[in-house]
Structure 1
Amino acid sequence: MVEFKKAKLKDISLMQEMIKPEIESGVILPRSNDEIATSIRSYILAYEKDELIGYGALKIYSQKLAEIRSLVIKREFRAKGVGSALVKELLKEAKEYEIEAVFALTYRDKFFINLGFEVVDKDELPSQKIWADCIKCKNFPVCNEIAVIYKF
């Protein structure tokens, strides 16, 4: 059974180790330990027994908009409902903050569409997203990710 926990600073090394293959493949942008530490409160971890099997973060941009980011599930736990359950946890947190919409940039739009997200034009996203994160991407400025949004 999967258990969700808020991340703690001591979890950073485990999180970094787990995400290495996704960073190497270019699916997820690298973040330094300091970057993760400054936003540690935004991460939710998924555990099965005592094993970290996934995590994701909810970055809040404004009173109305947040982003699901750094979503990763260990390969052997994919297609088993862990990712969907984790996204639902992140959406639940966004709703508790009374955020109106949550977006994500993804290569797996169908996964998010199945959870109630809709595809939108990237121009609808906050410009600070582009300059803060996207500029670090090897594909910038030709982004091939798909923008999706969930509205409460």
Structure 2
Amino acid sequence: MLEFRKASLKDIASMQELVKLEVEKGVILPRSNDEVATSIRSYTLAILDGELVGYSALYIYSVELAEIRSLIIKDGLRGKGIGKGLVKELLKEALEFDIKKAFALTYQKAFFESIGFKEISKEELPYQKIWADCIKCKHFPVCNEIAMIYTF
């Protein structure tokens, strides 16, 4: 049975193991254990039959804007609705905070469109996103990710 729950500090090692290959490929930004620990409350985990099979984070930028980030699903389980369930959980959380918009930077445009996100220009993203996160990416400044936004 698939369930979603908030992450705790004891989950960090499993989270890092799950994301390792995607970080090596440059699909997801690397985050140290300390960085994950600092923002542990933003992560929601997908647990299938007691096993961590995915996670993502809701990072709040302002009273009106949040980001869905670090979305990872275990190889072999992609395309089974786990990622969509995670994003929907984070959107519910954003709504509870009265957030007006949530964005994502992604290579998976169709996936986010299927949830109701629309493509926007990267120039519309918060300036601090580029200098806090994107600058750490091995693809910076030539990035093929697509900016997507969800409006409540």
Distance 1:134 1:26 in 2: 11
Q: CA deviation at 1:119?
A: 0.1
Match of 2:120 in 1: 120
Aligned-partner SS, 1:77: coil
Match of 1:98 in 2: 98
Q: After superposition, what is the alpha-carbon deviation per residue over 1:27-86, rounded to whole angstroms, capped at 9, x for unaligned?
A: 001000000000000000000111000000000000000000000000111110001011
Match of 1:15 in 2: 15
Aligned letter for 1:88? Answer: K
Structure 1 unmatched runs, 5+:
none
Please tell me the root mean square deviation across aligned C-alpha atoms, in Å.
Answer: 0.5
Q: CA deviation at 1:151?
A: 0.1
TM-score, normalized by length of structure 2? 0.99
Runs of 4+ with deviation above 6 angstroms = none
Match of 2:134 in 1: 134
Distance 2:138 2:38 in 1: 24
Aligned letter for 1:77? Answer: L
Q: CA deviation at 1:5?
A: 0.6
Aligned-partner SS, 1:103: strand
Mapped pair 1:46 → 2:39: no
Alignment of 1:12-91 (within 5 A): 12-91=12-91
Distance 1:94 1:107 in 2: 22
Mapped pair 1:111 → 2:101: no
Distance 1:19 1:103 in 2: 21
Q: After superposition, what is the alpha-carbon deviation per residue over 1:75-126, rounded to whole angstroms, capped at 9, x for unaligned?
A: 1111100010110000000000000000000000110001000000000000
Distance 2:62 2:29 in 1: 22
Greater shift, 34-43 or 137-146, is seen at 137-146
Aligned-partner SS, 2:44: strand
Distance 1:66 1:109 in 2: 18
Aligned letter for 2:88? Answer: K
% identical equivalent positions: 67
